[in-house]
Chain A
Amino acid sequence: MGGGTLEKLDSIRRGELSAAENVRRSLELIQRLDGKIRAFIELNPNALAEAEALDRRMERGERVGRLAGLAIGIKSNINVLGLRATCASRTLESYVSTYDAEVIRRIRREDGIIIGMTNMDEFACGSSGETSAFGPTDNPAAPGYIPGGSSSGSAAAVAAGFCDIALGSDTGGSIRNPASHCGVVGLKPTYGLVPRQGLIDLGMSLDQIGPLAGDVAGAALMLEVIAGKHAGECVMLDVDRVSCLDTLGDGVKGMRIGVSRKFAELTDPAIVGVIDRAVEKLRDLGAEIVEVDLPNLEHGLPAYYLIVSVEFFSATRKFDGRKYGRKIEDVCGEEVLRRIIRGRYISQKEYRGKYYQRALQVRTLIRRELLAALEKVDVLVGPTVPKLPHRLGERISVAEMYAYDYLTVPANLAGICAGVVRAGEVNGIPVGIQVQGKVLGEREVLRTMRALEAAP
């Protein structure tokens, strides 16, 4: 890509690179390479015209927004007026959004140019990018391997240079998992920090929109644009805006950074090796490394799959075939169907206590455990995905697929923030380190990520 996001913004503002030229390069690259990568489902036919209009405004000397001229990719479960929000499913194959999600309004206000809708696991149900009804996405950083999911297209689009920043959504790791596999930066913000109005549901108590970008500054910038209270949206934190760019370069000197033996127990030793070297780097940069105890971490996964299935079952009742053409159960893929059936089963009156209530109790336990650990440290670092990605088309079991999520679901269950930045690679496949922070601890998380990104 050459240069970081902020440098590119500067050159657009100085007129060295026009917004139209930036968008045109993206579109040409997509034209040339996306037939194989399949990062996008649909492109915005007006993207170039919007960029040209922005250039004219800049030529007239008008004030422009903070994302002026950047090419933005949007996950296909976020409503963008006039584009299809398919959720990569036959169910919503012909659903054209009638309104902009709140995050899209905020991006438009800051003059970001939306170039298209990215591929994803169907209804965000998957951790590999293979369950899309429009075909699997390839990993630009490790061709032939899965890009991870469910924000597969958003991560791949950033990795391939198709766009400058992309939006993903993260319910149990869907931003962090593909960010790790594709070697890009991803951030799942604190639950309730970014408006969800316009995000098509997977698990409403866990879903959160967040950025994927080529560098930490790009993710931080996008977070500043999309974060903050949305009048009238119920389940949000009382925060007007966040600022994290100003402290991004402050380094980790004096920070207390937590690690846990539990992470290594659950993770491929090759990955653990990469993470350990990153932790050493942090120590070298002046951070104090503190061991914390997370005894129940692995119980998060089964609890997560019960909760998400019940909420997903509820959320999909509107896809009854009356309004959007096709009934979801009639046309969806097997993972979506599996979650609907599981959700329907365990939400029955007689099983509520046995499964759903128990899952909610485990959730409370995990939340307490993580928040207690984060009392002692500023951030927690560890691996993102316990295993390396499999090859595209390789059959793995449902249990193996779910096991990809062991280390990412706890942050969603606890509602805390967590980001991923490339830490190294194993056999040419990128490995990302996960930095988990407190509720509204985005500044510390991004600062730690930036320190790793900047370290030689």
Chain B
Amino acid sequence: MMVKIGFEVHLQLATGRKMYCNCPTNYQDVPPNTNVCPICTGMPGAKPLPPNERALDSAIEIALMLGCRVHTDETIYIQRKHYDYPDLPSGYQRTSLPVASGGELEGVRIRELHLEEDPGQYDPVSGTVDYNRSGVPLVEIVTEPDMSSPEHARRFLRSLIRVLEYTGKVRPEAGGAMRADVNISMEGGGRVEIKNINSVKGAYRALKYEIMRQGRMVGRGESVARETRAYLESQMVTVPMRAKEIEEDYRYIPDPDIFPIVIDSSRVERIRSAMPEPPRAREERMVREYGIPADVAGVIASERELADLYEAVVRDVDPMLAATWFRTKLKKVLNYMGLSAAEVGFSPGQLAGLLRMVQSGRITPEQGEMVLRELVSAPGDPEEIVQRLGLLPVSGEELRAAVERVIGENSKAVEDYLAGKEEALHFLTGKVLAAVRGRADPREVTEILRKRIAQPSRTSSQP
């Protein structure tokens, strides 16, 4: 059966200040109602400051990353969207007309992109509202209904979040800063909108459930009516919303207290020239440029900092070897330590040094992994780490010197051995290994000792 799925995704922009006032945005880190002022609590007579320029820059950058056309030299009104809810201090939310439109990602057309402000947080149990979040800038991304399955929808959302996190201009999805409304229609049925989704997983589950529910209805010969439903995360089901919760008419008016936004093209070009390469383009380029497999390039490009690290490292390391290491060992170690590539403390040069040692066969891949773990937990020069961990085999010269020293200092044991006491040789082997801190094969040391004692050195044999 034909399924059509579309999204309205909201993400918080990672600005330091709110959209229309100077309050800080770290609402999760402070006691309730402390990051507030007359503007973001909607006190009578309060007037907004002009829209946060950084938020607008971020929205433009995101739009460009999604291949949208930014609406330059147009009057972009900030609209008031009226609805009645306790978390909304003024009874309306400010939302811009589209800042950009017409992009594409994962075969899904991006219809348009808006700037919005977050409401406060209402706790229905205690009946209290915390306005710390009120006025935090949001970007809203609206897609066409171009996804054909929950899997496609999930792939799109993951890819979208990757793009947005690439810009560094949004708060991470993991922090609960993403919210999405999904619309889904199946052949012959009405369009159903699902609200209250706040993770990729949630979107996937809600869609799975909804397709099953609608499929059953069709199977029973019922028709699916156009409606708005809410996703209940705890039960993984969707339920109809009460009519009162679906205020269809928001009575939009341009906010008379804010001049409309006009974006000039030089601003867009400035942002375009400074923005990172979009992940998809980067992935393709890495395949071309370094000759690495597409799936590996995909893993590396999944995180901007990881890809940055890779590209720095391959300046003097075999790209294929580095790619294998990034996909397997580096990912494994980072995952184990719960770190993202953005959080590592070592330099690309240090990682390259390690890979060169592996490349030249000076250390084994297994030893390399030990060094890597060390590098992640206590960044430093890989040479020193190898030394510290005692991973390089001792040189022949150093070993011979240690043997000479041990023989010279333990004449009693040498005599005992010459007198036929085989254990004395083990004792001497132990002494040599201790002297080279175990960087030699014990059997090899025993053999060297045996030969050395059997044919005394020229110096000591001179009477």
Contacts and interface: CB of A to CB of B under 8 A. Distances in A.
B236 interface: no
Contacts of B80: 314
B257 A234 contact: yes
B91 to A, nearest CB: 2
Given A204-B256, A310-B253, A348-B249, A232 B50 contact: yes
- Give the contact-size bracket for chain B: 20 to 34
B107 interface: no
Contact of B90 (A77, A234, A317, A348): A317
Given A317-B90, A317-B92, A320-B84, A233 B249 contact: no
Interface residues of A, number: 40
B256 A98 contact: no
Given A232-B50, A348-B249, A317 B44 contact: no
A14 interface: no
Interface string B21-52: 00000000000000000100011111111100
B258 A235 contact: yes
Interface stretch (A194-202, A249-257, A371-379, A434-442): A194-202
Given A95-B44, A234-B257, A235-B257, A318 B90 contact: yes
Contacts of B82: 314, 317
B259 interface: yes
B430 interface: no
Interface string A89-115: 000100101110100000000000000
Interface in A197-224: 197-201, 203-205
B202 interface: no
B150 interface: no
B70 to A, nearest CB: 22
Contacts of B380: none
A436 B251 CA distance: 34
B242 to A, nearest CB: 18
Contacts of B368: none
Given A234-B50, A317-B90, A318-B89, A99 B43 contact: yes
A234 B253 contact: no
B44 A311 contact: no
A185 interface: no
B284 to A, nearest CB: 43
A234 B80 CA distance: 16
Contacts of A233: 47, 49
Interface in A288-339: 310-311, 313-314, 316-318, 320, 322-324
Q: How would you classify the secondary structure of chain A's contact residues: helix, strand, loop or mixed?
A: loop
A199 B38 CA distance: 12
Contact of A78 (B45, B49, B84, B92): B45
A198 B257 contact: no
A342 B258 CA distance: 24
B251 A200 contact: no
Contact of B44 (A92, A204, A232): A92
Contact of A234 (B84, B86, B89, B259): B259
Contacts of B84: 317, 320
Contact of B249 (A77, A78, A313, A349): A349
A353 to B, nearest CB: 13
Interface in B45-91: 45-50, 80, 82, 84, 86, 89-91
19 contacts: A77-B45, A95-B44, A98-B43, A99-B38, A197-B45, A197-B46, A200-B45, A204-B257, A232-B50, A233-B47, A235-B47, A235-B257, A318-B42, A318-B91, A320-B84, A320-B91, A348-B251, A349-B251, A356-B253
Interface of A: 77-79, 85, 87, 92, 95, 97-99, 101, 196-201, 203-205, 232-235, 310-311, 313-314, 316-318, 320, 322-324, 344, 347-349, 356
